[in-house]
Amino acid sequence: MYKEQLQQHLQKILGLDVTVEIPPDNTLGDYSLPCFAFAKQRKQSPAQIATAFLGLLSDNKPPYISTIETKGPYLNFTLNKTMVAQQLIPRILQAGKTYGHSLIGKGKTVVIEYASPNTNKPLHLGHLRNIALGSSLSTIYASQGYSVVRANIVNDRGIHICKAMLAYALEGHNATPEQKGRKPDHFVGDYYVKFGQLEKEDPSLIQQAQDMLQKWEQGDKEIRKLWKLLRNWCQEGFEETYEQLETGFDRIDYESDIWKEGKDIVIKGLDKGVFIKDETGAVIAPLEDLEIEGKKGVLPNKVLLRSDGTTLYMTQDMYLAVKREADLHFDELIYVVGSEQILHFKELFAILQLLGYDWVHGCTHLAHGMVYLPEGKMKSREGIVVDADDMILQMTDLAREEIVSRDNTMREEQVHERAHSVGLAALKFMLLKIDAHKDTTFDPQQSISFEGDTGPYLQYTYARAASILRNLEDKHLNATFEQLEDLEEELVMQLLRFSQYINEALTHKKPHLIIHYLLDLCQLFNEFYHRHHVLNEADEEKRANRIALVQATKQVIGNGLQLVGIRPIERM
């Protein structure tokens, strides 16, 4: 906030259009004004200009600035930390849970699609990263006043679904997940795996699955009944996992409802001359001819309608985008989907652009990389998939061990609750810590540590602040912030940066920036706490300042954790 104020102030005093920067290292002050841009016009060296500006500004120093200095071609400004603290800390404490929130997105709708599973097997580790990203981004957008629609497209149709159905028809003997004591999506997944085994013995099964798909498409009653049974089991299981992850959806679309749609859009494009028919009668989007950033041939041509009139994955996505726009009039539509589909979304957006849908400029693909385990790759087709529910269970077990080793006097309920919070914190932190675009390795054992770059470390720091404040008796303290020590000043400055990080995380769709912010804040707080007395500080004034800093830091850590889907807990 001071940066904008300073920029306006400089513009007024200097009568120039200036850009205030944040110097790379704070020994150069908190803000700086590089003077290179004015050299040509003024026929002076940037250093001379800096000196001239300093002359103009020394009599017009805004109150929140303590010093202005030149360093070569730069003018460096230092904030008056006392004043910053006097304004910022009460603001944080007053706003409480809403500190960091804003209304910049007011009146705007953003649709965030994530999870989007297939209903033939349970969710896996990759989905966990996807969900962590999608739900954190949703929370970040909502905190800035956007109206957020968390969307999910469930791919519940196709040959892979029929494989599970066929295996169940052959070997399931009408059993239910309940009878078998199996989580329903895992129950379905078991039959999908079983199909693979059966097929090895009898290769004709794939044809049977194909026939089944055809019957499904024709609406065969028996087949549809079987399909619905398994589809609902899967969905029921997914819901349970979403709940564990403390996420959910405002809108769920099913492929089975829309798989035939999209033809109209394709035909319209054909009529407009945007698409072409090839010699086989298939409809093609001529993307090869499209110029993208001055170059042709960036994207390959894309089939949208087969010669037999059937639709494809692309056709459905075209329809779904148009439908979401018609229903929701979104300003932004963000697809959180793995980076193996980068080409698909480039093509989708190009096609929508060809069709003249201008809202496509609000569409983005937030592509995320793979998650590996220390043992190696997370394979998908070979079957060594890391199951999402197993992973959640493993994390809560690891957390439980850690918690019980620290305090074995707690009631079971309490242990359970805390293990869940800590286990999920460990998991989500690791899945969000790395820039989404990159692949990442997840090490469960390391992630649970209460020290180092982990989710539990952030929670631990929050709990530490909470415990200091629990022991506080006098509630009416008068913090003046007149005399601040270095670490206290740094802490104030880090608290001040919170909004800036939220802003960047939102603009660039990078929740990991908030994780990094929190790590820095916690690091600083722990150093501060290590170095200074708080409750038993003898000097009344220092004590009041420090307590206020602990209160504000606790609030900001808590608010930051919420944004990345981690539960702040009062005791650990």
Smallest gap, in angstroms, from Cβ of residue 126 to ligand ARG? 9
Residues 6 or more apart from 473 whose CB is under 8 A from it? Answer: none
Beta carbon of residue 505, minimum distance to ligand ARG (angstroms, whole number): 23
Q: How far is the CB of 485 from ligand ARG (least distance, A)?
A: 52
In terms of CB distance, is 255 or 488 closer to ligand ARG? 255
Q: How far apart are the first and last CA of the chain?
A: 35
Q: How far is the CB of 448 from ligand ARG (least distance, A)?
A: 29
At position 214, the amino acid (one-letter code) is Q
Round to whole Å and give the CA distance between 227 and 247: 26
C-beta neighbour count of 234 within 10 angstroms: 28
Residue 267 φ then ψ, to 5°: -60, -40
The H helix count followed by the E strand count for the chain is 22, 13
- Residue 78 or 232 having the CB closest to ligand ARG: 232
Q: What is the DSSP letter of 304?
A: E
- Work out whether strand 31-34 and strand 74-79 pair parallel, antiparallel, or are unpaired: antiparallel
Whose Cβ is closer to ligand ARG: residue 235's or residue 551's?
235
Smallest gap from Cβ 224 to ligand ARG, in A, equals 21
Q: Give the distance from CA 572 to its chain's centroid.
A: 26
Minimal distance, residue 154 CB to ligand ARG, in Å: 8
Between the alpha carbon of residue 441 and those of residues 266, 291, 371, the distances in Å are 41, 37, 6
Compare residues 111 and 425 and give the one whose CB is closer to ligand ARG: 111
In angstroms, rounded to a whole number, what is the distance separating the alpha carbons of residues 447 and 432?
12
The residue among 299 and 496 lying less far from ligand ARG, judged by its C-beta, is 299
Backbone angles phi, psi at 493, to 5 degrees: -65, -40
Smaller CB separation from ligand ARG, 335 or 528: 335
User: Is 317 or 488 the residue whose CB approaches ligand ARG more closely?
Assistant: 317
Coil, strand or helix: which one is 65?
strand
Structure tokens at 455: 């989710």
In whole angstroms, how close is the CB of 511 to ligand ARG at the nearest point? 19
Residue among 360 and 492 whose Cβ is closer to ligand ARG: 360
HEC states along 330-397?
Answer: CCEEEEEEEHHHHHHHHHHHHHHHHCCCHHHHHEEEEEECCEEECCECCCCCCCCCCEHHHHHHHHHH
How near is the Cβ of 348 to ligand ARG at its closest, in Å?
8
3-state secondary structure at position 152: strand
Judged by the rule CB under 6 A, the positions of this chain that interact with ligand ARG are: 113, 116, 118, 153, 155, 317, 335, 337
Phi and psi angles of residue 157, each rounded to the nearest 5 degrees, phi first: -145, 150
